[in-house]
Chains A and B, each alone.
Chain A
Amino acid sequence: MAPSVGKSVPRVDGPAKAAGSARYVDDLVLPGMLHGATVRSDVARGRLLGVDLDPAFDWSGITVVTAEDVPVNSVPIIETDQPVLARDEIRHAYEPVALLACEDRLRLEKALRHVALRVEPLPPVLTIDDALAAREVIRPPDNVSKRYLITKGKGGTAGPGVVDGCEVVVRGVYESGAQEHVYIEPNGMIAFWDEEGAHVEGSLQCPYYVQKGIKGVFGLPDDGVDVTQAVTGGGFGGKEEYPTILALHALLLAKKSGRPVKLVYGRQEDVEASTKRHPSRVEIATGCDRDGTLRAVSIRVLFDGGAYVTLTPVVLSRGALHACGAYRWEDVHVEALAVATNTPPNGAFRGFGAPQTIWAIERHLDRIARTLGLDPMELRRKNLLRLGDTTATGQTLKESVGVEECVEKAIAASGFVEKRARGPVVTGRLARGIGAAVFLHGAGFTGSGEKYLKGKIAVDLLPGERALVRTASTEMGQGTETVFRQIVADALGIAVDAVDFAVPSTKNVPDSGPTVASRTVMVVGSIAERAATELRARVGQEATARGLSRSEAWERLAADPARATALVQYEPPPGVVWDDATYSGDAYPAYGWACDIAEVEVDLDTFETKVTGFWAAVDVGRVMNPTLCAGQVEGGTLQAIGWALTEKLVTRDGKILNPRMTNYIVPTSLDAPPFTTILVEAPYSRGPGGAKGVGELPMDGGAPAVAAAIEHATGLVLDRVPLLPEDLFEASLKGDAR
């Protein structure tokens, strides 16, 4: 059997999705099912005095749930500060306060308008600056919810003054706004109770996260909670922690009504209430030699966590760990803070904190180059991390550093050096420029994460020389189903279509850990490979021991429940050492590396930016499926271009003014540049076939590359995304031109 890994096996889930036969949660109907809806606050902060049902309205057949009905009223994520339903405190403008369910969706819509909340408004904290000023304290003592410190060399003693005394000190402040995931399918969940306990099925990335939430709130054992992933129309991190809330809400309504309940958000409710990418401000001071050799860096990272902690501490951690970029520094001081505000909680989003800090450090590298009069790519090449170098956390890079190859290939394919040297090309009222970003992204969980997680996978031998993969790593459009089939098929020596992929349900798949952090192929894929390899050996031994053919041995094992299954648990590589107390050591087992080059055309009359070419050279360790891999790179890059150029979340008094797809502007296919994607393979010894992660990496470099290209084209230096035409126009008025 020829190996399938490395080939563009078509997506197994593709035909049903393309033909419309795939069944998403909103396609599911259970007998006697009610529809659920959420009553939300409409002020950003306040004291909840009461929930009043209009006595003139006919409430028959409508189930009403409030905080009184919640057994343990806190959503267990990292902390327990977020209530399932607000009881007496309103902390953001879309805070769920009550739930309604009704068979008739129209009556449900009407009923929503007959629930009145008595709220005494309080002054809200809406920005990072508001939070730091601490005139209003919403998170004692100082509105700071999490703090990290990373130091290296003199950074430990000199603190933020670590750059003092360097030949050239450059300072800059870089900001980014919130970003909405805009997965095609909004959040949705269907729930019911029976004698076994709670059942939910819905759009989600991480079945065991949802299970944990349900266990905590309802006080149920593992086997009393069944969580199943329905076909899921995209996630991008937005369905990492948030679906737990829908599951809890649907279950509360189902419990009280005694009926199955479906809770599906419309687009507007989804945009308003669900998590966003953390808005950020990153203050950087660097010290270097006059020739551009980087020496010291001091960084202060500020993330707006929103109203509740959710996953903010880990997002902030990844942001801090990527803040120094893909460069060598002798002396490092990184302080990272997350603050609480009265905005909807921010959470997981592709890149997980790294896009904000990579945006900052890459813009800063351009600033250093400008200050020194150096070519920005030369400055980067001079200081890139290489094998044997140590990162900001003191991690020595022992293998799999393909960054120089990425840089060389991206430069060669794009003609970067010649185009950059030629300067901006102005034709009529159009100015063309080119810019670059070089970056890394840690694959897998941070630090000791995988050690505590103990991810598992099961592979079963089935009759007919077939196999079944059972994993909680979910398909959400990125290709898990297909690539896992490829890995297992190759290890077992069977065809890809002889491998089945179990519907992820906590009832029948082991806890592989969450489908996040670019860990699916590298971590879970590696144990899928081990499980399949173990089964192949078992078949071989059985054949030898009993003098059977391979297929006869396979049938015997498949028929024996005690021997048909291999269940394998992930063991972190022995050399990976991380110290949570000092935030030092091996932050990630491996890094993906990349060089992005963007070419733009800016209309000097309207300041519209069109990305006319994009070259991404990406080191993924090993390309499992070229089409899917390039798809991740192009899709992630386009999401980054959206964040860079159009995706502005407009808010007033903590409320979102553009919660719809007509006014929250994601790029369309016509906005996508022609992509040239170059896949580089610097293998990682512990990944399957050498593979590392690729899901998040492409989100990191698009924005700084585009900003650098705009700067090259126009001379306008902009340090905040998104870079709307209006922002370029304003900058041109202020004479920010070079």
Chain B
Amino acid sequence: MSVAGLPLHPFFTPRDLPETLDLLAGRAARGEKTVLLAGGTDWFVERHVAPPETAGTLPLVVDVSRLDGLGGISLDGHTLDGDEPGGDTLHADTLRIGGAVTYLELRRDARVAARCPLLAAMARDVGALQIQARGTLAGNLASGSPAADGVSALAALDATLLLRSVRGARRVPLAGFYTGYRKSVLAPDELIEAVEIALPPAGAPYVWRKVGTRQAQAISKVALAGVAVVEDGRCTRLGLGMASVAPTVAFLPATRALGLSRPLAGIAPGEIEATVLADVSPIDDIRSTAAYRRHVAVALVTGFCEELKRR
């Protein structure tokens, strides 16, 4: 079915964030399904393959792409609301990205380019320009695909998600967000308001390597995001995120622990291979094979570690 053949969904554009939250709360209380539409780059594709929905059960589609409260990228300029839990722990080098910020905005933002080049590099590799102009980080997070490039980069940056509902706001570390394949702790009345990243120092080494099916318009077979702070040959911070090697984006905890455990020079390639293989559980699918994914996962992490050793 083409987009032209989609059923006519009820569609609503709220005025502002409070109205959106009220709407979500009411519908959640009645058990009604709501789709928050930002870029629509996943949702439309899913409609194409989903069985036709019957008129009575069509979810309400709510356009959140232009809501003030979900836009904007800020560095240090963030004014905290009084009711934000943990707001006082935001340190000076925090990058805050509104949930409806697009990949193209990330690519074009000078602060992101200077202070978080990993995100800019990732954004250049998502889909192609048309997708980048519509797709958003919050959409990527909410879809929960294990192949999500954006989520992989946020995993490496150990991002925190700011979730909001009429009940208030809460901060959830990304590592605690997903509970399984396309499942998360996001409640039916909540939305992803923003993503917060405690930035590494400017110039910190990072890696973004997407191994896709082609140069653009590709879904990752494997993608590695990594960021590190290296002092005197030791990692004092190491973040890794990997796409398409597990039911959710992988954080590679054992590999992170190994990398932080002792001076990099003392870590043998065999150890890295063993921990990466312990951290991933890829499958055969139409895009690739489990064996290839394991091989690439090890090769990419090993390559990043070699680069860190040279610094």
Contact = CB atoms under 8 A, between A and B. Distances in A.
Interface stretch (B114-122, B178-186, B243-251, B293-301): B293-301
Given A105-B5, A606-B296, A606-B299, A646 B286 contact: no
A465 B4 CA distance: 45
A671 B214 CA distance: 7
B5 A608 contact: no
B303 interface: yes
Given A662-B45, A729-B292, A668 B286 contact: no
Interface stretch (B92-100, B191-199, B215-223, B255-263): B215-223
Contact of B286 (A610, A663, A667, A670): A663
Contact of A605 (B1, B4, B289, B296): B296
Contact of A608 (B49, B51, B211, B217): B211
B2 interface: yes
A668 B291 contact: no
A725 B299 CA distance: 14
A266 B48 CA distance: 10
A312 B7 CA distance: 41
A113 interface: yes
Interface in B1-36: 1-2, 4-5, 7
A669 B129 CA distance: 12
Nearest to B222: A606
A546 B45 CA distance: 70
A665 interface: yes
Contacts of A657: 286
Nearest to A728: B292
B289 to A, nearest CB: 5
B287 interface: yes
A605 B45 CA distance: 32
A110 interface: yes
B297 to A, nearest CB: 10
Contacts of A610: 215
A133 interface: no
Interface in A74-130: 105-106, 109-110, 113
A643 to B, nearest CB: 14
B214 A110 contact: no
B216 A670 contact: yes
Dominant secondary structure of chain B at its interface with chain A: loop
A266 B211 contact: no
Contacts of B51: 113
Interface residues of B, number: 31
B213 interface: yes
Nearest to B5: A105
A667 B303 contact: no
Given A106-B7, A665-B214, A729-B291, A266 B299 contact: no
A514 B300 CA distance: 51
A726 interface: yes
B219 A662 contact: yes
A430 to B, nearest CB: 12
Interface string A691-735: 000000000000000000000000000000000011001100000
B211 A726 contact: no
Nearest to A35: B5
A105 B7 CA distance: 9
A665 B213 contact: yes
B214 A726 contact: no
A474 B298 CA distance: 52
Contacts, number: 67
B211 A606 contact: yes
A658 B213 CA distance: 13
A374 B246 CA distance: 47
Nearest to A661: B217
Nearest to B2: A266
Contacts of A537: none
A665 B219 CA distance: 10
Contacts of A113: 51-52
Interface in B234-285: none
A726 B5 contact: no
Contacts of B211: 606, 608, 725
A646 B45 CA distance: 22
A113 B1 CA distance: 13
B80 interface: no
Given A662-B45, A668-B217, A725-B292, A109 B1 contact: yes
Given A109-B1, A606-B299, A726 B216 contact: no
Nearest to B288: A726
A668 B128 contact: yes
A341 B179 CA distance: 45
Contacts of A726: 288-289, 291-292
B5 A106 contact: yes
A429 interface: yes
A220 interface: no
Given A106-B5, A657-B286, A668 B296 contact: no
A650 interface: yes
A650 B286 CA distance: 7
A109 B286 contact: no
Interface in A292-342: none
B72 to A, nearest CB: 30
B300 A605 contact: yes
A606 B211 CA distance: 7
Contacts of B45: 662
B295 to A, nearest CB: 6
B310 to A, nearest CB: 12
Contacts of A669: 216
B287 A663 contact: yes
Contacts of B52: 106, 109-110, 113
A110 B43 CA distance: 21
Interface in A675-705: none
A266 B1 contact: yes
Contacts of A608: 211
Nearest to A110: B52
A363 B277 CA distance: 37
B295 A729 contact: yes
Contacts of A661: 217
Interface in A624-650: 646, 650
Given A109-B5, A605-B299, A671 B215 contact: yes
A665 B218 CA distance: 8
A726 B284 CA distance: 11
A726 B282 CA distance: 14
Contacts of A605: 296, 299-300, 303
Q: Interface centre among B2, B5, B217, B291, by most A CB within 10 Å?
A: B217
Nearest to A667: B214
Contacts of B7: 106
A725 B213 CA distance: 9
A293 B296 CA distance: 43
Given A106-B52, A605-B303, A670-B215, A658 B292 contact: no
Interface in A542-601: none
Interface string A419-433: 000000000010000
Nearest to A669: B216
Nearest to B217: A668
Contacts of B289: 726
A669 B296 CA distance: 25
Contact of B214 (A429, A646, A660): A646
Given A605-B299, A605-B303, 16 more contacts: A106-B7, A109-B52, A113-B52, A266-B1, A429-B303, A606-B296, A607-B292, A657-B286, A662-B217, A667-B214, A671-B214, A725-B221, A725-B292, A726-B288, A729-B291, A729-B292
29 contacts: A106-B5, A106-B52, A113-B51, A605-B296, A605-B299, A605-B303, A606-B296, A610-B215, A646-B213, A657-B286, A658-B286, A662-B45, A662-B217, A663-B219, A663-B286, A663-B287, A665-B213, A665-B218, A667-B214, A668-B215, A668-B217, A669-B216, A671-B215, A671-B216, A725-B211, A725-B221, A726-B288, A729-B291, A729-B295
The 8 closest A-B pairs by CB, nearest first: A670-B215, A605-B299, A726-B292, A670-B216, A665-B213, A668-B216, A671-B215, A658-B286
